[in-house]
Amino acid sequence: MVRINTIVITSVLLLGVTLGCGPTQEESLVQGLYLGHTPPGRTAELFAPELAGDNESLGCSGFLRDGTVFVFSSMKRGGDWRFRPVWVTELKDGRWTNPEVAPFSSYMPYNFTVGPAGKTLYFTTLKSPDRGSSMLLEQANIWAVTLAPNGWTEPVMLCASINTETDYENYPTVARNGNIYYMSWRDDTVGRTDIYRSRNRDGKYHPAENLGPPINSVESDQDPWVAPDESYLIVCLKGREDSFGSYDLYVSFSNEDGSWAEPVNLGENVNTSGAEFRPYVTQDEKYLFFTAPDSEIGNVGRIFWVSAEIIEELRELHQR
């Protein structure tokens, strides 16, 4: 499959220059959504190629405040991924502000997702619990930071039911009821990494539970994203019979008994022979975003998006 990779000619300019423009206030607000780019159909397209130069690789991304704040991570090729900063741009009066490094970038948030309310960023870091040093990769923990009306709050480390002193926790995603999903390796891990869930009951998190099969396998199962109502789970999986190559994006729907159905490959309009990672669906539930290498510019990481209708079509098949 060849993804659509054309640069849409809009008023969005290169990184470092004010993004978004329009002749009237009303038109500006329309054009300004999604950084001024025309939404995709059922075939994944490159999103906002102006966000990074050829020598930069993009990582996670997400929208906050009903799509009016966009955050993304970027690093120079060959740079240290642990120190990849998070950039923030905000839609104001129909124009996107110049991207600025988020103040919490000092916490080294190398993987993140946005919570269902569009206010909190849940991120992975090697920052030690005392905030004074860095830890080894296998000690990565999950923290959270919130975008308040007066700016970003101070990041906080999540509780011991989620984080451990010796195990690896990464790519957190949170449902509307507070249940948190993430990848980890622990004593009961089947592959190199498995997907875990910590349930939130009455405001208290319970010890993490391995989701088990059919989500987890002997391979390294990674980067979960859960729907706000927990009706489906998107996961990055490899080594399956219907794989297109490396890591592919799969969706698993929740059964009536609360178990997870066999993951379904999202298909050739999303997945390629390369690796597709870091999925999330926008707060309006219209678009699936993910990160993948762009073969046209030396396989550096870029952000892609596709209509979430592809998920709904698979859900209908699951319900039959």
In a domain, 201, yes or no: yes
How sure is the predictor about 33, in pLDDT bands with cuts at 50, 70 and 90? confident
In a domain, 3, yes or no: no
Number of domains in the chain: 1
**How high is the pLDDT of residue 146?**
98
How sure is the predictor about 166, in pLDDT bands with cuts at 50, 70 and 90? confident
Q: Is 309 helix (H, G, I), strand (E, B) or coil?
A: helix
32, pLDDT greater than 50: yes
**% the chain with pLDDT above 90:** 60
In a domain, 43, yes or no: yes
147 CB-near residues (< 8 Å, 6+ apart): 64, 65, 69, 119, 120, 121, 153
In 55-167, beta strands by DSSP E: 56-64, 69-76, 86-92, 95-96, 100-101, 111-114, 120-125, 141-148, 151-152, 156-157
**How high is the pLDDT of residue 210?**
96
**How high is the pLDDT of residue 10?**
33
In a domain, 221, yes or no: yes
In a domain, 22, yes or no: no
How sure is the predictor about 294, in pLDDT bands with cuts at 50, 70 and 90? confident
Residues 111-116: what's their mean pLDDT? 96
For the stretch 44-99, pLDDT in tens is 999 998 888 777 889 999 999 999 999 999 876 666 666 678 999 999 888 899 89
Residues 261-278: what's their mean pLDDT? 95
**How high is the pLDDT of residue 20?**
31
In a domain, 91, yes or no: yes
Q: Please, what is the average pLDDT of the chain?
A: 84
In a domain, 15, yes or no: no
The residue segments making up the domain with residue 281 are 35-319
CA angle 159, 165, 169 (to 5 degrees): 70
**How high is the pLDDT of residue 16?**
37
In a domain, 175, yes or no: yes
- What is the CATH number for 298? 2.115.10.20
For the stretch 187-234, pLDDT in tens is 899 888 999 999 999 889 999 999 999 999 998 899 999 999 999 999
d(CA 76, CA 57): 6
**% the chain with pLDDT above 70:** 82
